[in-house]
Chains A and B, each alone.
Chain A
Amino acid sequence: MQENENCKNIKASRRDFFKQSSLLAAIALTPSAVINAAQQEWDEKVASAIEEVSVQLDVNGIKHSLSIEPRVTLLDLLREQLHLTGTKKGCDHGQCGACTVHVNGNRINSCMTLAVMQEGKKITTIEGLAKGDKLHPMQEAFIKHDGFQCGYCTPGQIMSAVACIREGHADTEAEIREYMSGNICRCGAYPNIVDAIMEVKKGGKKV
């Protein structure tokens, strides 16, 4: 009994020690990073007082009239305000392709554009690809060929793959690999992704 109490105390104080010492280490090692974080918090508070702008967007055929802060990216708008969480945030810096959507039919990284800049445009996300319960041929091909493992990159891969065929850049395996290079897959499903795209391309169906 007595021993147990002691144990708890030691554990608690050790945890506190780690907390404090890691905070000190953080300040000592990266002072300006900490200052940056503090400034950002201050920013978040002021944000609510700053004026919002109105934006009209057509997302998957549905018109939305929204009031947003200019600094909201298209990706954050889709995920956090329209709750279309199929579009993923991987890196948030244009380096992975998980956030790929179509704007007026062309593939882009939604993390690298502001939602206000897309005023009046037609946005298609992974949620808008299937026709009701009928999957898009590219979605079917990804399932058939096991074009994923964890699935995190998959919505971006599929949006990119559809555009890759539409652009006319899916004639050979080498061309597909080059034109799909903007979509990184941490699970390394690349060979199966290429197979899926090749099959849809050869099938000749309109995508």
Chain B
Amino acid sequence: MRQFTYLRPSTSKAAIDALSKDPNAQFIAGGTNLIDLMKKGVMAPEKLVDINNLPLKEIKKQTGNLHIGALALNSDVSENKLVTQYHPLLSLALKAGASAQLRNMATVGGNMLQRTRCFYFYEPSLPCNKREPGSGCGALEGVNRMHAIFGWSDKCIAVHPSDMAIAMVALDASVLVYGPKGNRRIPFQDFHRLPGDTPEKDNSLEKGELVMGVEIPDGPFTKNVHYLKVRDRASYAFALVSVAAALNISGKTIKDARLAMGGVAHKPWRLLDAEKALIGKPATEETFKQAADIAMRGAKGFKYNSFKIPMGKNAILDALKTAAAKV
């Protein structure tokens, strides 16, 4: 690991000042992604700004929404009573991620900002436009089993690896950001971006901006929810595909629905057309099958990952059935 200088400011203002003054500085929260990348030589910040002394751990109910601080630990959020009561889908998604030890270190802010697990990104001797713009995408014609089937470009086919983010996008969360230009709020849906011609940019955060927390609006999705994660082993592995499904069923009719997928795109992939196909319909297998077909329209795989298309369809069907069956 390269050397760096280390700072631990105690106010958010000092933290963003420290970052904006230095082009090669990075925040560090749990460290579980950044330290990994620094050991691999993928990232080499000259200055680390440790934000763990900032008062951003709180989880609190406000009128109309639930506020979760950026430094709240993944384990604490997943077990929190307010979270399991108002947004059980988020708890399920968090518990599906990493391991108990890592969830005790990983923060909400760090989780949404973790980088892709694409092998080419992770290995500095291989080409990768995300790590080194202009060097080419090794995955396009290489080992692309873990890669995107939606929204990719010929510059990058990497996927965002977070489970938490899939639930956040399904629940219409917003990201609260503070930076040199003041405060702003970014809808979770617009927080991550598609690779296009600039895959080096994962998200819409600007230099020096600090994620302060997220807010999740109150909603009806407190019972019929499920997070299904398909992976190479039963636990402690990244998703091949994952599905966040939330239904609001009244009688036999679906009043409202949310559906999003992980492991398939450069950003958490919300399935708005499939949601429309669910709303107002009876909660039956037939309806779910139609929604799954619609969801996978436009999916396009590569040499080693085309299996994700049928797998995605089956996972959506399974997730919706499991969500609907919850009592």
> Using a CB–CB distance below 8 Å, which chain A residues touch chain B?
30-33, 36, 40, 43, 46-47, 50-51, 53, 69-71, 73, 92-94, 97, 100, 106-109, 112-114, 116-117, 119, 160, 163-164, 167, 169, 177-183
By the criterion CB–CB under 8 Å, are A43 and B4 in contact?
no
Least CB distance from B22 to A in Å reads 15
Which of B1, B101, B234 lies at the interface centre, i.e. has the most chain A CB atoms within 10 A of its CB? B101
B28 / chain A contacts, CB cutoff of 8 Å = 114, 117
A127 to B52, CA, bound (A): 28
Contact across chains for A94 and B124 when beta carbons are under 8 A apart = no
Chain B interface, >50% SS class: loop
Q: What 1/0 mask marks residues of chain B from 1 to 37 whose CB sits below 8 Å from any chain A CB?
A: 1111110100000000000000000001011100110
Other than the given A32-B125, A40-B41, A93-B40, 20 more pairs (CB < 8 A) read: A50-B3, A70-B6, A71-B1, A93-B36, A106-B104, A107-B100, A107-B104, A108-B101, A108-B104, A112-B30, A112-B35, A112-B36, A112-B102, A114-B6, A117-B52, A181-B99, A181-B100, A181-B234, A181-B235, A182-B99
Which chain A positions have C-beta within 8 A of B6? 53, 70, 114, 116
Tell me if B272 is interfacial: C-beta within 8 Å of chain A.
Answer: no
Interface size of B by CB at 8 A reads 33
- Cβ contact within 8 Å between A182 and B1: no
B235, closest chain A residue (CB): A181
**A54 shortest CB reach to chain B, Å:** 12
Binding site for A on B (CB under 8 A): 1-6, 8, 28, 30-32, 35-36, 38-41, 48, 50, 52, 75, 98-102, 104-105, 124-125, 234-236
CA distance A93 to B42 in the complex (A): 13
A residues near B8, Cβ cutoff 8 Å = 116, 119
* A43 contacts across to B, CB distance below 8 A: 2-3
The contact of B102 among A50, A70, A109, by CB within 8 Å, is: A109
A46, A70, A112: which has the most chain B beta carbons within 10 Å?
A: A112
Q: Which residues of B contact A97 (CB under 8 A)?
A: 99, 101
Chain A residues with CB under 8 Å of B38's CB are 71
Provide the residues of chain B in CB contact with A108, threshold 8 Å: 101, 104-105
Give every chain A residue within 8 A of B99 (Cβ-Cβ).
97, 181-183
A69 CA / B28 CA spacing, docked (Å): 16
Q: Please state if B31 and A117 are interface contacts (CB–CB under 8 Å).
A: yes
Given A114-B35, A117-B31, A117-B50, do A109 and B105 touch, yes or no (CB 8 Å)?
yes
From residue A176, how far is it (CB to closest CB) to chain B in Å?
11
**Separation of A53 and B8 alpha carbons in the complex (Å):** 12
Partner of A182, one of B2, B35, B100: B100
What is the minimal beta-carbon distance from A70 to any residue of chain B, in angstroms? Answer: 4
Complex Cα spacing A113 to B234, Å: 26
Give Cα A160 to B103, complex, Å.
13
Question: What are 13 A-B pairs with beta-carbon distances under 8 A?
Answer: A33-B124, A43-B3, A47-B3, A70-B6, A71-B1, A109-B32, A109-B105, A112-B30, A116-B6, A116-B50, A164-B100, A169-B100, A182-B102
Contact B101 A32 (CB under 8 A): no
User: Are B31 and A70 in contact (CB-based, < 8 A)?
Assistant: no
Cβ of A73 and Cβ of B35 under 8 Å apart? yes
Choice from A40, A53, A92, A112 contacting B105 with Cβ under 8 Å: A112
Q: Which 6 A-B pairs have the closest CB atoms?
A: A182-B99, A181-B235, A70-B6, A181-B236, A32-B125, A33-B125
Interface-centre pick from B99, B105, B124, B125 (highest chain A CB count, 10 A): B99
Q: How far is the CA of A69 from the CA of B5 in the complex (A)?
A: 9
Chain A neighbourhood of B98, CB < 8 A: 94, 182
- The chain B residue sitting closest to A72, CB to CB, is B1
Nearest residue (CB) in A for B73 is: A106
B contact residues around A100 at 8 Å (CB): 101
Q: In whole angstroms, what is the CA distance A163 to B75 when docked? A: 13
The residue that B41 contacts in the complex, of A36, A70, A109, A117, with Cβ under 8 A, is: A36
- Beyond A112-B102, A117-B31, A164-B100, whether A178 also contacts B39 by CB under 8 A is no
**Residue among B28, B41, B50, B105 with the highest chain A CB neighbour number at 10 A:** B105
When A112-B35, A117-B28, A163-B100 are in contact, do A69 and B3 touch as well, CB less than 8 Å? yes
Complexed CA–CA distance, A113 and B1 (Å): 13
**B80 CB, min distance to chain A CBs, angstroms:** 14
